Amino acid sequence: MVLKAFLATGVVLLLTGAFLPAGAGQQATDGFAAASRWPATTGDTARVELAISGMTCGSCATTARIALERVSGVYDAEVSYDSASAVVLYDPEETSPEEFIAYMRKMTGYEARVVEPAKKPKGKP
């Protein structure tokens, strides 16, 4: 259990750039640029909910959030350990759920899938 906590802390430090020289954290080393935090216009923003598996503690949610927000085109990510979910705001012309899910999987090992909105029964408003 201590080893998992130690490894999770190391992943968080690595993703935040704590081990990099000053200024080196401006761009991820794997080609993903640090994301702009705000969309140019509200029309540029898409929202998706993800179901995430593999998180074992609260710091896992932080690790997942940091990984998602490292993807260029992701404006914001809110990750919940308690509900094993995330809500991601992103620019659909710059990235896609498949891209940021793949990046999160690569960086953290957590699996994720898009949660489809519940369909309304036919004939019901």
pLDDT single digits (tens) 60-92:
999 999 999 999 999 999 999 999 999 999 999
Distance CA 47, CA 108 (A): 22
pLDDT tens, residue by residue, 21-56: 433 443 343 434 444 445 444 568 999 999 999 999
Q: What is the pLDDT of residue 44?
A: 81
Measure Cα distances from 50 to 18, 64, 68, 88 in Å: 27, 11, 11, 8
* Nearby residues of 58 by Cβ (< 8 Å), 6 or more positions away: 81
Q: pTM of the predicted model, to two decimals?
A: 0.64
Q: What is the pLDDT of residue 22?
A: 39
Classified by CATH at the fold level, domain 33-114 comes out as: Alpha-Beta Plaits (3.30.70)
Domains of the chain, residue spans = 33-114
